[in-house]
Amino acid sequence: MRALFIAALACAMAAPPAFARAIPDPHQRAAPGNEAEQKPISQAGYSTPVNYQLQCAGCHLGDGTGSKANDTPRMKGFVGNFLKVEGGREFLVRVPGMSQSALNDAQLADLLNWLMREDGMAGKSMPARYEPYSTEEVSRLRKVSMLNLPGTRAELIERMRQQGIPIEDGMDY
C-alpha cells in the first residue's frame, strides 16, 4: 500500500502544471473587436425583440413555446390570459425573470407591451381591453419580490379555470 502511495505521489509531482490558469493574466489584451468596454443591456439601446432574445428566449424559446422538460410554460397564445384574472397583471412584472432582468423599467414596460400585442406572443389570448404597462407601474411592481412563484402561478391558473379559460400553456396540472 505504501508503494502505491509513493508511486501516486511521484506521478502527481511529475505531471505538467494545470492547463488552465486559476488567476487571469493581468497583461492579457482584449480580442480584436472587443477593445471597447461593453455597455450594460439597460444602456445598450437594443430593440425590444432583441431584448426578448437576450432576456427571455433562453427559457421560453425564441417563439415563446416554452419547454415542458425545463418546467417553462408557453407564452405564445396564452400569456394574455394573465391579464384576465385578478393579480395576473402584477404577476407578469414580478416573475423573477422579468423583475430581476437586466432591463431598466422603461425597457421592461416596452417588453411586456410587446409581448401583449395581438400579433405578438399573446395572440388571441389578449383581453378585449388592454391598458399598456407604464414605466412607473413596472418600477413600482418589480420592487415587490415574489416569494412563491409556483404557488402564485397555481392560484392564477385556478382563477382562469374558474372563468372557463382553457389552460394551454404546455404544462401539466
* Domain assignment of residue 126, yes or no: yes
The residue to which cell 413600482 is assigned: 140
Give domain status of residue 17, yes or no: no
Q: What percent of the chain has pLDDT over 90?
A: 51
| pLDDT > 90? residue 136 | yes
Q: Which domain holds residue 115?
A: 46-162
- Residue of 168, 146, 19, 141 whose CA lies nearest to 79: 168
pTM (two decimals): 0.76
pLDDT band at 7 (very low <50, low <70, confident <90, very high): low
The answer to the question of residue 146 being in a domain is yes
Judge whether 67 lies within some domain.
Answer: yes
What pLDDT does 89 receive? 97
Q: Are 75 and 66 in contact, with CB atoms under 8 Å apart?
A: yes
| Domain presence at residue 63 | yes
Rounded to an integer, the average pLDDT of 91-114 is: 94
Nearest to 93 by CA among 116, 125, 77, 76: 116
Give domain status of residue 28, yes or no: no
The lowest-confidence range among 18-32, 108-122, 126-140 is 18-32
Regarding predicted confidence, which is higher, 70 or 90?
90
Buried b (16+ CB within 10 A) or exposed e, 61-88: beebbbeeeeebbbbbbbbbbbbbbeeb
Mean pLDDT for the stretch of residues 64-79: 88
CATH of the domain at 102: 1.10.760.10
Grid coordinates given for 86: 385578478
For residue 105, pLDDT over 90 is answered with yes
The confidence score (pLDDT) of residue 170 equals 84
* Phi, psi of 88, deg, nearest 5: -70, -40
User: Is residue 11 a part of any domain in this protein?
Assistant: no
Q: Is residue 158 part of a domain?
A: yes
Quote the number of domains for the chain: 1
1 or 85, greater pLDDT: 85
- Mean pLDDT value across residues 27-42: 78
